[in-house]
Amino acid sequence: MPTTWHGVRLVIRCTVHYRIHTGEKDFICDVCSKLFTQKSNLKKHYKIHTGEKDFKCGVCSKTFARKCDLTKHLIIHTGEKNFKCGVCSKTFARKCDLTKHFIIHTGEKNFKCGVCSKPFRQKSNLNKHYRIHTGEKNFKCDVCSKTFGNKSNLNEHYKIHTGEKNFKCGVCSKTFARKCDLTKHFIIHTGEKNFKCGVCSKTFARKCDLTKHFIIHTGEKNFKCGVCSKPFRQKSNLNKHYRIHTGEKNFKCDVCSKTFGNKSNLNEHYKIHTGEKNFKCDVCSKTFSQKSHLNQHHKLHTKESDNKI
């Protein structure tokens, strides 16, 4: 009997292993429909959805969903890096990290997207990219429940809630939550605008800004609200509008804690605290912190004019 059972176990192991070569994936996640070759891998993956974290660091008590993630994390505390790159001498804690790094020097891109054929150096980058096509968003913010296609975008988003701003402008010392926002801001100081509109000759610092601007001339509105069907020229405007329906308010004033649905409204509100008044009445020269207040004030002059008539 033991011999027979040993034989059965061997067959099972061989069958499971063979799927690595065939690419056969019989185990499907009932949440996001992702496929796996082994049941054990499906179970590990499922913890992304449940939030289950059974592996705890004995040094800082941080918890992880997978043992391999805990092992990676532990290196932060030991600082041990025994694997050295023969080209640039950079050191790594794990051999697999050295292998990934080495591709920077070779320029090799062996992982190609099956949808758009875009090549990648690492499989992990291909997997992240592939979510653009599938629309898969497994990373959920535990503050506002917004979902993201990859962890790095979730981490960037978290800074909205924490108020963390690690990227500082070297010219005016203004701080930003994301590097891309700092890059956008920096153009204010350089004044460089290399992208010119072929219709009105207006120039822009970035190609994406020119693309957005061009829609003004075409009148094209391709982004439609799924609730009220209102169309928008830009996706960013649709996203702002959508918060009217969801009631989502992610932008918080760090002075009085009042929350807003978009950043522009928060910026307008800030002027109450700073006393900044940039909107001036062209009739009586009275100044206001918000344009809406100026518009309201203008009605007084309109009413006065009507009474005189």
Q: Tokens 């875009």 identify what position?
A: 118
Percent above pLDDT 70 for the chain: 91
DSSP character for 29? -
Question: What domains are defined for the chain?
Answer: 139-192 (3.30.160.60)
The Cα 292–Cα 268 span in angstroms is 10
How would residue 40 be classed by pLDDT, with cut points 50, 70 and 90? confident
How would residue 7 be classed by pLDDT, with cut points 50, 70 and 90? low
pLDDT in tens, 123-147: 888 888 888 888 788 888 888 888 8
- The pLDDT of residue 2 is 47
For residue 110, give the nearest of 126, 97, 95, 98 by alpha carbon: 126
Q: Tokens 């100044």 identify what position?
A: 287
pTM: 0.35
The Cα 30–Cα 48 span in angstroms is 13
DSSP character for 252? E
How does strand 195-196 pair with strand 203-204?
antiparallel
How would residue 14 be classed by pLDDT, with cut points 50, 70 and 90? low
For residue 216, give the nearest of 194, 196, 233, 198 by alpha carbon: 233
What is the arithmetic mean of pLDDT over 36-65?
A: 83
In 3-state terms, what secondary structure has residue 36? strand
